[in-house]
A and B are shown apart, each in its own frame.
Chain A
Amino acid sequence: MKPHEINEIKRIVGGHNVLTSREELHCYSYDSTRLEFMPDAVVKVSGADEISRIFKFASREKISVTPRGAATGLSGGCLPVKGGILLLMVGMDKILDVNPVDLLIDVEAGIITEKVDIEARKYGLFYPPDPGTVKTSTIGGNIAENAGGLRGLKYGVTKDYVNALEAVLPNGDIVNFGTRTVKGVTGYNMIDLMAGSEGTLAVITRATLGLLPLPQAKASLLAVFSSIEDAAKTVRDIVSEGVITSTLEIVDRVTINAIEDYLGLGLDRDIGAMLLIEVDGQQGAVDGEAAAVKKVCISNNCTSYRQAQSEQERDEIWAARRAALSSLARVRPSTILEDATIPRSRIVEMVQAVNETASRYGLLIGTFGHAGDGNIHPTILTDLRDKEEEKKVEAAIEDIFRAAVDLGGTLSGEHGIGISKARYLKMEISPESYEIMKRIKTAFDPYNILNPGKMFTDL
């Protein structure tokens, strides 16, 4: 960007809200993928009007604009591939309104997700989507990536809780989509288009999110299996039994050994896998569901089963799952967390495919994650500075994607396509479907100035 262009931006937001030093630009060049692209200017914005004026200018001058929240994305969604303006959204973090009767909360897009849940709890409500980065990531980023979390099976994902939103289009128009009602069919369902659009169609500035009443009770259960196949079958059978658990997490042997190496919790290193299960709701329902889950675990040969009898025990049961990612991250310098997702009915085969891939390439892969909704996280432990390893990892990831797609699954359950998976998109999306998506992008952004270089490799 030229100096006079930077000055124009300074006139819109104020000079102190534009960062251009090399040091600062470097700090805004990355997200959680370890890829790096330098912006030309980091622009702290405070509202839709400012963003609109920036876009009007950027459209005229054909300057790229990329929105950024907390930059904890795992697909490169907020990286300024073509430089230009990086819109820093984190200052827009106010809670605008809470309506407990309508179960709605209005927030600015830069608010940290956990703050939404904390506010909701003051009213006896909660915000169900709980992605792993809930304490750091922003609602805007969560909506753009349709973030998931541990409660996906029972409670759904971010898009299920976006009732309405305000956004700025690449031409500077400020638009509002959605309703404050439980139901609404008025115009196209733009909310579901925005959710998961990865910041390539518009910049979300405000959202009206749905909340739910806090469940009255919950039960935390831990089941251990001598084979991961038994654990995977249990996952499938629990739902077949009619129980929709609020959480149904799996931890495999590689992960358990990493946890024992790091924390020494006293877990048996030889077990095949562990399931961490929670059921919530009214006390009677919880008791019934917990009993049903126990029956299923036993019929699938669980070697041990435990139900937490206190808060402390609940914490103990959860300690292993909570430590899963950190334990794996400590094994080798690079930790590649994938999220290829399959229908629950195919989970046994997916787990086998991941293990076969690990053997084929001689890679260490730990698997843990949201088994209940088929969204397990095969986590490759490696050192990407080793070029030989890097090639193997690339090939392994492609194999895992292919396995998921072949099993009727999808490349990404939660992390999005971004830069990281753009070259694989056509594995799953037919040419015709891909074409209409590109046309939608072009309809929104004819000059391809908004977050270029994402999703499509040929735009």
Chain B
Amino acid sequence: MTEKDKKSRPKEQARIFKKYDDLFNCSRCGTCMSFCPVYKNTKDEAVSPRGKLSLIEAISQEKLDFTDAVSDKIYTCTMCSYCESECPSGVKVSELFGEMRQDLVDKEKYPKALDFLKRRLDEAHNVTFDTNEGRIDWVKQIPDTEAEDWLRDEAEVIYFVGCVSSFSPRAFSIPRSIVQLFKEAKLDSGLLGEEEWCCGFPLLSSGMREEAKKLADHNISKVKKRGAKVLITSCPSCYHTWKYEYGKISSEKIDFEIMHVCQYLPRLIEDGRLVLKKLEKRVAYHDPCDLGRNSGVYDEPRNLINSIPGVELVELAAHKDLANCCGGGGNLESLDPDLSGKIAECRAREIIEAGVDILVSACQQCERTLGAALKKLKQEAGGKIKVADISELVLASIKAD
């Protein structure tokens, strides 16, 4: 579509113009502002959920235009959905932000960094600077296993690793733990290798829904090609995308189960394929926003941790649907790394207050941002608090003597 065509499109076609009723439901009570990590760390009304909604409402009433300034505010968000979760009036805040982002994309008023993202996903099908050929290089350093062992034509369980854990060395311990667990359990499982494309979450969350369809169609067909009955992922954003978005954007039918690894490992333990041994640790569990609030998975990771003998699980003051965001989501880190870091530090302080040895989570992003914040606050913490993914904790328990 040419620039001229876009400009001649009637304004009424913008999605938010049909949302005035929902926007009017916002009573401006300000409850969202007591929970929003962005507002709490900036004290700027314009980037609070209430402020963002007021901008969207003003545009829908033609008091303001879709400008770069508006775009800036709308994209300053971790997408933790605390606002929607706590809104007394039931305004679907996150959903409205999602529609606004789509309108901003249509108007070409989105952060330029997203162009890079779109291009990479089109060319290399991942969110990094690397080619997809190196997607399972992380397997190399696992003892007694070869990459080829995991690239099978058929597998009952497919482990969808996700871009970050595939390419970011700091996150490698997660997929490495999971394949070791699957190997230990003698599970009929495999990886997609370079046939694994980005799940599309960064596009969907940015308002580029159409571009994500290609990725969804491809990924679903590759899993089906292998006759899988279960798709496992270790990334909550991949999990949410597969479970709640793929059905909406793909024409490919999904005929297999979709689970996060913390939901699947209990099956292997129940069947006796994995034997947990004593691990004397005091741990806290941080609920990742995309697994907890956005997907409703709170109890399974806790039950899994509690099933490890010797582990004492301490609840953080703000937990489950009241958990505070790590600051790592919504692309905020690339747009405003300082703000993202501040949000992480706030959550890190809550973890330090809990007085634990290990902070466990189920998201590579949360683990990285909180790990960095805890390291920065090491002196305040009076020592080092380790950060571990739930799969690493389970592996440590398997290997304990």
Task: Name A residues whose Cβ lies closer than 8 Å to a Cβ of B.
Answer: 19, 21-24, 26-28, 30-34, 70-72, 88, 90-91, 93, 112, 114, 133, 135-137, 262, 325-326, 329-330, 333-335, 385
B33 within 8 A of A: yes
Asked if B73 is at the interface (CB within 8 A of a chain A CB), the reply is: yes
Please tell me if the beta carbons of B43 and A136 are within 8 angstroms of each other in the complex: no
Given contacts A26-B64, A28-B45, contact A325 B28 (CB under 8 A): no
Interface residues of B (CB under 8 A from A): 21, 24-25, 27-31, 33-34, 43, 45-46, 51, 54-55, 58, 63-64, 67, 69-70, 73, 88-90
A93 to chain B: which residues have CB within 8 Å?
A: 43
Docked Cα-Cα span, A385 to B24, in Å, equals 9
Contacts of B24 in A (CB 8 A): 333-334, 385
Contacts of A27 in B (CB 8 A): 45-46, 51, 54-55, 73
Instruction: Give 19 new A-B contacts, CB below 8 A, not counting A23-B67, A26-B64, A32-B30.
Output: A23-B64, A24-B46, A27-B46, A27-B73, A28-B45, A32-B28, A33-B28, A34-B27, A72-B30, A90-B43, A135-B34, A136-B34, A137-B30, A262-B90, A326-B88, A329-B89, A330-B90, A334-B24, A335-B27
Per the bound structure, the CA–CA distance linking A291 and B51 in Å amounts to 48
Most buried by B among A137, A325, A329: A329
Is A91 touching B43 in the complex (CB atoms < 8 A)?
yes
Nearest-CB distance from A393 to chain B (Å)? 15
Q: For B58, list chain A residues within 8 Å (CB).
A: 26
Cβ–Cβ < 8 Å partners of B21 in chain A? 333
The reply to whether B25 and A333 contact each other, CB–CB distance below 8 Å, is yes
User: Which of the residues B27, B30, B73, B89 comes within 8 Å of A23, measured between beta carbons?
Assistant: B73
Q: Cβ of A23 and Cβ of B69 under 8 Å apart?
A: yes
Instruction: Kindly state the separation between the CA atoms of A115 and B158 in the bound complex, as whole angstroms.
Output: 48
Q: Are A23 and B34 in contact (CB under 8 A)?
A: no
Contact status A22-B64, CB under 8 Å: yes
Q: What distance in Å separates the Cβ of B73 from its nearest Cβ neighbour in chain A?
A: 7
Q: Is the CB of B30 within 8 A of A133?
A: yes
Nearest B residue to A34 by beta-carbon distance? Answer: B28
- Give the CA-CA distance A19 to B44 in the complex, in Å: 11
Q: Taking the nearest CB of chain B, how far is it from the CB of A357, in angstroms?
A: 22
State whether A70 touches B33 (Cβ < 8 A). yes
A124–B289 Cα gap in the complex (Å)?
A: 33
Q: Which residues of A contact B54 (CB under 8 A)?
A: 26-27, 30
Q: Report chain B residues within 8 Å CB of A385.
A: 24
Complex CA distance for A330 and B31, rounded to whole angstroms: 15
Assembly CA distance A326 to B86 (angstroms): 10
Residues of A within 8 A of B30 (CB): 32, 70-72, 133, 136-137
Quick one: closest B residue to A112, CB to CB?
B34
Asked, given contacts A27-B46, A326-B89, A330-B89, whether A136 binds B31 with beta carbons under 8 Å apart, the answer is: yes
- Shortest C-beta distance, A234 to chain B (Å), equals 28
Closest Cβ of chain B to A29, distance in Å, is: 8
CA distance A28 to B47 in the complex (A): 11
Q: Is the interface of A mostly helix, strand, loop or mixed?
A: loop
One of A72, A112, A114, A330 near B29 (C-beta < 8 A): A72
Docked complex Cα distance between A24 and B52 (Å) = 10
Bound together, the chains give a CA A223 to CA B63 distance in angstroms of 50
By Cβ-Cβ distance, the 7 closest A-B pairs, closest first, are: A326-B88, A135-B34, A72-B30, A27-B46, A27-B51, A23-B69, A136-B34
Q: Which residue of B lies closest to A325 (CB)?
A: B88
Contact A31 B28 (CB under 8 A): yes
How far, in angstroms, from A112 to B43 measured CA to CA in the complex? 11
Q: Which residues of A contact B88 (CB under 8 A)?
A: 325-326, 329-330
Q: Enumerate chain B residues within 8 angstroms of A28, measured Cβ to Cβ.
A: 45-46
User: B51: which A residues are within 8 A, CB to CB?
Assistant: 27
**A133, B88: Cα distance in complex, Å:** 12
CA of A71 to CA of B31, assembled, Å: 11
Residues of B with C-beta under 8 A to A330: 88-90
Chain A residues, Cβ within 8 Å of B73:
23, 27
Minimum C-beta distance from A138 to chain B (A): 10
Chain B residue with Cβ nearest A73: B30
**Cross-chain pairs A/B with CB under 8 angstroms, 28 sampled:** A22-B69, A23-B46, A23-B70, A23-B73, A26-B64, A27-B54, A27-B73, A28-B46, A32-B27, A32-B28, A34-B27, A71-B30, A72-B29, A72-B30, A72-B33, A88-B43, A91-B43, A133-B29, A136-B33, A136-B34, A262-B90, A329-B27, A329-B88, A329-B90, A330-B88, A330-B89, A333-B24, A334-B24
Is there an interface contact between B29 and A32, defined as CB atoms closer than 8 Å?
yes
Query: In the complex the two chains form, what is the Cα distance from A326 to B25 in whole Å?
Result: 12
Q: Within the complex, what minimum Cβ distance (angstroms) separates B95 from chain A?
A: 16
Q: Which of the residues B28, B64, B70 comes within 8 Å of A30, measured between beta carbons? A: B28
Bound Cα distance A28, B25 (Å) = 19
CB distance from B65 to the nearest CB of A (A): 9
- In whole angstroms, how far apart are the Cα atoms of A334 and B89 in the complex? 10
A75–B24 Cα distance when bound, in Å, is 19
Give the nearest-CB partner of B51 in chain A: A27
Contact B63 A26 (CB under 8 A): yes
A324 to B24, CA, bound (A): 20
Q: How far is the CA of A333 from the CA of B22 in the complex (A)?
A: 8
Shortest Cβ gap from B173 to chain A (Å): 36
Whole-angstrom CA separation of A71 from B29 in the bound complex: 9
**Closest Cβ neighbor of A327 among chain B residues:** B88
A-side contacts of B31, CB under 8 Å:
133, 135-136
The chain A residue with its CB closest to the CB of B46 is A27
In the docked arrangement, what's the CA distance between A24 and B54, Å? 10
CB-defined contacts of A30 to chain B, threshold 8 Å = 28, 54
Which residue of A is nearest B43, CB measured?
A90
CB distance from A171 to the nearest CB of B (A): 28
Interface centre among B21, B58, B64, B67 (most CB of A within 10 A): B58
User: A72 to B45, alpha carbons, bound, how many Å?
Assistant: 12
Closest to B67 in A: A23
A21 to B24, CA, bound (A): 24
Q: Which of A27, A31, A91, A329 has the most CB of B within 10 A?
A: A27
How distant is the Cα of A32 from the Cα of B31 in the complex, in angstroms?
Answer: 10
A133 to B24, CA, bound (A): 21
Distance from A94 Cβ to chain B, minimum over Cβ atoms (Å)? 13
Q: Closest residue to B89 on the A side, CB-wise?
A: A329
Nearest chain A CB to B53 CB, angstrom units:
10
When chains A and B are docked, how far (Å) is the Cα of A334 from the Cα of B63? 21
Q: How far is the CA of A70 from the CA of B28 in the complex (A)?
A: 11
Check B89 against A71 for contact (C-beta < 8 Å): no
Residue of B nearest to A30 (CB): B28
Residues of B within 8 A of A329 (CB): 27, 29, 88-90
- Report the bound CA distance from A71 to B58 in whole Å: 18
* B252 CB, min distance to chain A CBs, angstroms: 37
- Chain B residues with CB under 8 Å of A114's CB are 34
A383 (CB) vs chain B CBs: closest residue: B24
List chain B residues, Cβ under 8 A from A112: 34
CB B395 to nearest CB in A, in angstroms, measures 35
Interchain nearest-CB distance for B109 vs A (Å): 12
A136 neighbours in B (Cβ, 8 Å): 30-31, 33-34
Instruction: Assess the A335–B89 pair: CB atoms within 8 A.
Output: yes
